Structure 1
Amino acid sequence: MKTKVLLIICTFFISSSHAQFFKKLGEKAEKAAERTVERRVEKESSKKTDQAIDSVFGTGKKKQKKEKKSKKDKEKSTNDSKSSNKKTNQDIVTGSSFFPDGNLIFEETFKEDNKGDFPANWETTGGGEIITIKGEKAFRLYPNSLCITKTGKLPENYALEFDLTTENLAYKELSGSEFRVQFTNENKLNKDLKQRAEFHFSLWQGSATADKIHVENFGTESKISNNINYKMNDVFNRTAHFTVVVNGKRLRVYIDNEKALDLPSLLQNNAGKYIQFYLRGTKQEENHIVAISNIKITEESEDIRSLIMKGGFSTTKILFDSGSDKIKNESFLYLDKIGKVLLEDKNIKLKIIGHTDSDGDSKANLSLSQKRAISVKNYLQEKFKISETAIQTDGKGENEPVADNKTNEGKAQNRRVEFKKI
């Protein structure tokens, strides 16, 4: 009986404790739920506040992501631009993107001219000065100046390359301004020669010919005068690379490697023999800058097979270690072109003749020239499996110079390899 009473009492207390426990648990859960709701409200309120601030200052997360992407795209664009510049503005010693086998016949970097001076090898009607652009020298043309330099008479086929840098062309006081490249058949400092051809473009955005290139020739039977659409305003206030390709009467112009002009018969009456640059208008007091730099003229070389079939040719593009018959690696590309011609036409037979300058002993030079000719023969036969009977060799040493051995330039021309058809 006592045991039963004790169990009932215990059960009562346990039930009462459970009730209190669950009551307290419920109260805690309720408070926790309230705190959760409060935190969510605070978070949402904070989020709304952040969004409101972002809308004012433009610093939202979505915008940040967009800016990150934009930065990444910008970096890619910069890298792509650097890669393009390497191709358009590379330091070419010989050849160009248009005439890769051509010979560099003129180059002007203004390295011998002092900043602020007019360049020594140029002539002008209006003046100019040497300035620096990103550490490199450039020739700034003054308003209304015609400028020419000592290129000599240019060949039938060549490529003129130059960088054109313009700055502060905010189109103030620029009405009537233009930049002109002029082609003539005589080397006279006169912008109005009777027989000439030219292309020019306005430097003024408000011009009636903005975003056009004007082409014209003078003193010809087949007169050409036309405005050709091109996005010239995109070229200004930066550096743009121009390539002007002359093939007889034909003129092609590329701007940053994009074709802008292609005129088959603009250059009549030998108008492409000399080049002049002319700047019209602009004002120095407004600090308008129009400058040219990195000027190169590359002559188109004739096809090697054609040269061989005409009887042969000599070249200074095959180089050897000093005093040795070991061919330098940079010569292999040119030698491969000769090898391919011999491979394609089994009927061609050549005599390879080595030549040296006059430095050193004449007997040693004769022996060296013979060994160098043999080295060229061995390379062609080993790589292209040319028949032993297709190639003969000889050496003339210093005995048949083509230039003055008293100058470094002359010596370089005399160190040559000759290929004669037999």
Structure 2
Amino acid sequence: MKTIYIIFLSVAMACICRATNAQLIDKLGKRAENAAERTVERRVEKETEKKTDKTLDKVFNKKDKKKKKEADPVQEQKSGPQAKDQTSSPGKPKGNAGQEIVSGSTFFPGGNIIFEENFAQDAQGDFPANWETTSGGEIILVDQQKALKFYPNSLCMANTGELPENYALEFDLITANLNYKELSGSEFRVQFVNENKLKIDQKQRSEFHFSLWQGSTVSDKIHVENYGAENKISNNINYKMNSKFNKTVHFTAVVNGKRLRVYLDNEKVIDLPSFLQNNVGRYVQFYLKGTSPALDHIAAIANLKITEEGEDLRSMILKGGFSTTKILFDSGSDQLKSSSFTFLDKLGKTLESDGTLKVTIVGHTDSDGDSKANLTLSEKRAIAVKKYLLSKFSINDGNLQTEGRGEGEPVSDNTTAEGKAKNRRVEFRKI
């Protein structure tokens, strides 16, 4: 009996252990399953976070790029020494080694107007009274503005009188209906001559011209050539003129002695230092070759203006430098007068467009007052000029040095008001 009880107890204990083990195993299995589920959830969360972060990065990067693009447009030009002149600043791409590369050039005429023509006094349909021509032309209206339309193979010249050695010629060239057909061989030409003769093939002349044959490779170039010159130049300059057709383009031709620069919509496309030889450039002629009246091809000019300019500042610096009385200060002060800004802006654009130009800015005074005080004042005035240029233009600080000479180097008599005005000057010496 005792033996049977022991056997029964053993069997019962075994069953209880099995049940307990089964429950334990079941619990462990559930825990393992839960742990596995949590592991999977964490992995899913992590992968989701990664994808979300990448998506958000793309979104915010796009926003940042958009903000940068929105912040890039040219700032409105302001007057005064604290404004950065961005309107004329050339591009600054990065080179292979990360170096800053500056290119581009602009020119804004600022001299006295010596000739201006808007055809206000001429009737529509007439050839303008103040011009000469070989084949004619007529006044037309373009957006209610008068312009001189050239007839085919017409050479025209305004009665400007003899032009000075340094000047800027501006005009709008208006073209329309230049859509390839019957334009083969056509061209528009600007000639610089030394005689007041209306003649297409003057022996002494320099010219630039371009094809009006839109759509052809011929109109991808501007041809420059001088005739009767010792230093002969005949070349094609790559420039897509056909992109300027059937609309209005603004030309600025700057003559400085033998040098010719030409800008289209204020972008420099021609710069030839010895192109205008034998004194050509005293008169300017316009020539239209080809085109068809039946197809209503139009080549016309409007808003012609000629201003007398000083010698090219860049050339003057390269020759050694120059001095000017156009930079004015308050009496006994280094505070620049606002009337000085026009000249300083022109100089700033010159120095900005050519990073190789280095100058010493030298201040000079008249003899009024104490000589030591004048020396200090001249130094401060030179520094004021440097600060203005650096504040408005992208010029390397190392390209500008300053010094003062006070009253020690007069260029005129200090006993008269006129003489003192000449002595109160700022000099720019090439380094």
**TM superposition score normalised by structure 2:** 0.52
**1:81-107 C-alpha deviation (Å, 9 max, x unpaired):** x99xxx89xxxxxxxx73554222211
- What amino acid maps onto 1:247 in structure 2? N
Report whether the alignment pairs 1:134 with 2:143: yes
SS at match of 1:187: coil
Distance 1:138 1:225 in 2: 31
Relative to 1, partners in 2 of residues 1:300 and 1:206: Cα closer, same or farther, differing over 3 Å?
same
Report whether the alignment pairs 1:163 with 2:152: no
1:210 CA displacement: 2.2
Report whether the alignment pairs 1:276 with 2:318: no
1:246 CA displacement: 1.4
SS at match of 2:175: strand
Relative to 1, partners in 2 of residues 1:150 and 1:349: Cα closer, same or farther, differing over 3 Å?
farther
Relative to 1, partners in 2 of residues 1:299 and 1:145: Cα closer, same or farther, differing over 3 Å?
same
Aligned to 1:191: 200
- What amino acid maps onto 1:260 in structure 2? V
SS at match of 1:210: helix
Contact 1:101 1:301 in 2 (8 A): no
Distance 1:346 1:260 in 2: 38
Report whether the alignment pairs 1:144 with 2:150: no
Q: 2:120 aligns with which of 108, 111, 115?
A: 111
Report whether the alignment pairs 1:346 with 2:364: yes
Contact 2:107 2:266 in 1 (8 A): no
Gap regions ≥5 residues in structure 2: 1-69, 78-86, 89-105, 329-336, 345-360, 369-380, 386-405, 425-431
Report whether the alignment pairs 1:245 with 2:254: yes
Contact 1:161 1:296 in 2 (8 A): yes
- What amino acid maps onto 1:161 in structure 2? E
Distance 2:221 2:343 in 1: 41
**1:229-253 C-alpha deviation (Å, 9 max, x unpaired):** 1011101000011111112212111
Distance 1:204 1:252 in 2: 24
Distance 2:279 2:234 in 1: 18
SS at match of 2:242: helix
1:23-42 to structure 2, matched below 5 A, reads none
1:7-406 to structure 2, matched below 5 A, reads 98=107, 100-205=109-214, 207=216, 209-301=218-310, 332-334=338-340, 345-348=363-366
Gap regions ≥5 residues in structure 1: 1-75, 89-96, 319-330, 351-379, 396-417
**1:3-61 C-alpha deviation (Å, 9 max, x unpaired):** xxxxxxxxxxxxxxxxxxxxxxxxxxxxxxxxxxxxxxxxxxxxxxxxxxxxxxxxxxx
Distance 2:261 2:342 in 1: 30
**Identity level (%):** 60
- What amino acid maps onto 2:140 in structure 1? I
Aligned to 1:72: none
**TM superposition score normalised by structure 1:** 0.53
Relative to 1, partners in 2 of residues 1:268 and 1:120: Cα closer, same or farther, differing over 3 Å?
same
Distance 1:162 1:337 in 2: 23
- What amino acid maps onto 1:154 in structure 2? L
SS at match of 1:234: helix
- What amino acid maps onto 1:188 in structure 2? K
